[in-house]
Structure 1
Amino acid sequence: MTTALITGATAGIGAAFARRLARDGRDLVLVARDGERLAAAAAELAKGYGVQVETLTADLATDLGIAAVEERLRDADRPVDILINNAGFGNRGAFLDVPLQAELDMLKVHVEAILRTTTAALPGMRERGRGGIVNVASVAAFLPRGTYGATKAWVVNFTQGIARDVAGSGVRLQALCPGFTRTEFHQRAGMGTSNIPRWGWLSADRVVDESLRDLARGRTLSVPGKRYKAVVAVARLLPAGGLGGISSKAARSYRTD
């Protein structure tokens, strides 16, 4: 039986990945900051799907948290076959309104953690001749949106570059770029989302289904939803900043773990 490690696994897209992969019969390693929520999620998944579920409490905004995930990924006696780098967050307000430390934490979670965990997972996967890594980015990668959009653009470019480097090894990488996705965090964080049209919302389950289908097909970029595929296509054609307002108007104060 194969094993998947998912960061930011207790809610939203991370929880949807956990449900789907458990339903597919994969054992799980769930990573998040909240130990109590991790334990509850693990118990529910193990009971509901009959798989083995391990938990790892780690804050990926810290060196200690990233190192704990690296260590688990390098454990050759308990190989991880699928890595889902989903943990992430947004900062509310314009750039100069956000504390510098919050921006630095974002770089740590969105960039350094993904760089280090991908590096930790790849050698074992390549040696076994199989594996998959999904790095969750965002449609915001293609729309100017301060540090958040910049980090997600890095995720896309990093993932597609590494995918080329390991082509033919049996290991597949994907940058997943969802648009607005309904999760509990919008309500819990008090995000102002009334300005987002109904058609703009995706379900986390749909995002995961499209991601895994694209991964099986070897697609290094997955943009769930026809409307968001169109948004990305247009954003690539327009001058920089042409569609920036679409994402910048949305409130941004949530963490996906």
Structure 2
Amino acid sequence: MVFLTLAACASDPVMRDGIMVNDPYEGANRRIHAFNKGVDARLVAPVARLASGGGESRGNAQQMRPADLVANVGANLSLPGKVVNHLLQGRPGPAIRNGFRFAVNSTLGIAGLFDPAGSDFGLDEVDTDFGQTLARWGAPEGAYLELPVLGPSTQRDAAGRVVDIVLDPWNHVLTGRQAVGVLGLRAAGKAADRARFGDTVEGVLQGSADSYAQTRLIWLMHRRHELGEEGNAFDPYDAIEDDDAVIDPYEE
């Protein structure tokens, strides 16, 4: 893949804010970040605030906000693709769990509007994507990238996003308006997630002296934690850290 080939040619990472950062395209990334920040302030955030009205709690179906229902549907539609990735990672346990979760929420949960799989059966989602599959296969992280609209990424995760589209079972069983409808629901689900974490996102984007550096730091720390790739980097938000601990994100 082009992104993974370029990853091998990326510059050496340097220590910034306690973590190793490989950002040879920082100039271009900052320009894209400024664009994304403007899109968020003028479009995404207002839509997210509008969608967040109409309820106070996700625990009571009668009080769920519209954004919660949309987020549930979007998350449910993403499960078949995650089943495929878990199988490619050699992890049948999470694949089966996500498969049962999809079946329950698609039926008892009324096409994914509600989450009886999690609330009644304890079948919580086991998240994954093809970026994680590539990490499982030993592909390097590559350079940090900020993608237009999509936001923070790396060369490995950017390649993973493309493959996720190809692997998504919905793209092979649906055509025309149905496929567009599923894509729209999943995109709306991402916007609904933005509504759910609106204060935190706005605090980083609008309240930071250098929102680009802060976004890069938070995203890389979170992503590496998901993949168990923290290494020996110091976490400035965690003063107590066991450097000898080994984290296996694929452990069942």
- More contact order relative to length (CA 8 Å, sep ≥ 6): 2
TM-score between the two structures when normalised by the length of structure 1: 0.26
- TM-score between the two structures when normalised by the length of structure 2: 0.27
Greater share of strand:
1
Higher helix share: 2
Query: Which structure has the bigger radius of gyration?
Result: 2
